[in-house]
């Protein structure tokens, strides 16, 4: 179970898209400027997001990316698994469980499973829609203090 910069950047980008669903495709360049994500790195992430069916791409001039499903039907877990692969325990998974010789008879494995499930529950119960609206509220209330500058 790992959460890296891919997830962080990817979620920021997806929230950015969710805040602009009514604007047609948004270019990776625009998002990378706005969110402070390295441009070429973000392009790579969008490849994964597209292959997972979370975003649609429009090539050519004035192209860009847009959510491929309603924001309320895309969870953070969808984004994370599109970018990092299936969210399983990194410890005591299939290979290692065999290595330690216990198979199912390992008390420790249960803890790792429960921890992973707990994370899944959180990520699965949070949609892009709710995050986008939260973000909009935050942007409004902080607009006077120019949050991008600081």
Partner DNA sequence: TGAAATCATACTGTTTTGGTAAGGATTCCA
Partner DNA sequence: TGGAATCCTTACCAAAACAGTATGATTTCA
Cβ–Cβ under 8 Å, residues 46 and 13? yes
> Both tokens of residue 17?
């898209």
Pattern 15-54, binding to a second copy, x per CB under 8 A?
x-------------------xx------------------
Nearer to DNA, 29 or 114 (CB): 29
| Listed ranges 38-46, 52-60, 66-74, 115-123: which one lies at the site for a second copy (CB under 8 A) | 115-123
> Both tokens of residue 114?
């429960």
- Residue 102 touches a second copy, criterion: CB under 8 A: yes
Helix (H, G, I), strand (E, B) or coil at 98: helix
The least CB distance from residue 145 to DNA, in Å, is 26
| Listed ranges 21-29, 55-63, 66-74, 94-102: which one lies at the site for a second copy (CB under 8 A) | 94-102
What distance in Å separates the CA atoms of residue 35 and residue 109, rounded to the nearest whole number?
38
Please count the other Cβ atoms lying within 10 Å of the Cβ belonging to residue 126: 16
Which whole-number Å values give the CA distances from 69 to 41, 74, 75, 78, 105, in the listed order?
A: 23, 7, 11, 12, 42
In the complex, which residues of this chain contact a second copy (CB under 8 A)?
A: 1-5, 7-8, 11-12, 15, 35-36, 76, 89-92, 96, 99-103, 105-108, 110-112, 114-115, 118-119, 121-123, 126, 131-132, 134-135, 138-139, 141-142, 147-150
């Amino acid at each position: 179970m790992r959460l890296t910069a891919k997830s962080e950047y990817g979620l920021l980008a997806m929230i950015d898209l969710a805040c602009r669903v009514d604007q047609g495709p948004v270019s990776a360049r625009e998002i990378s400027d706005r969110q402070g994500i390295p441009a070429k790195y973000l392009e790579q992430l969008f490849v994964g997001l597209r292959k997972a069916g979370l975003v649609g791409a429009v090539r050519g001039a004035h192209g860009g990316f847009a959510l491929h499903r309603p924001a309320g039907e895309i969870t953070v877990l969808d984004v994370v698994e599109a970018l990092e692969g299936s969210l399983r325990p990194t410890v005591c998974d299939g290979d290692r469980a065999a290595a330690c010789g216990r198979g199912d008879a390992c008390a420790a494995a249960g803890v790792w499973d429960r921890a992973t499930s707990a994370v899944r529950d959180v990520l699965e119960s949070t949609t892009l829609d709710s995050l986008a609206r939260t973000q909009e509220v935050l942007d409004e209330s902080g607009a006077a203090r120019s949050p991008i500058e600081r």
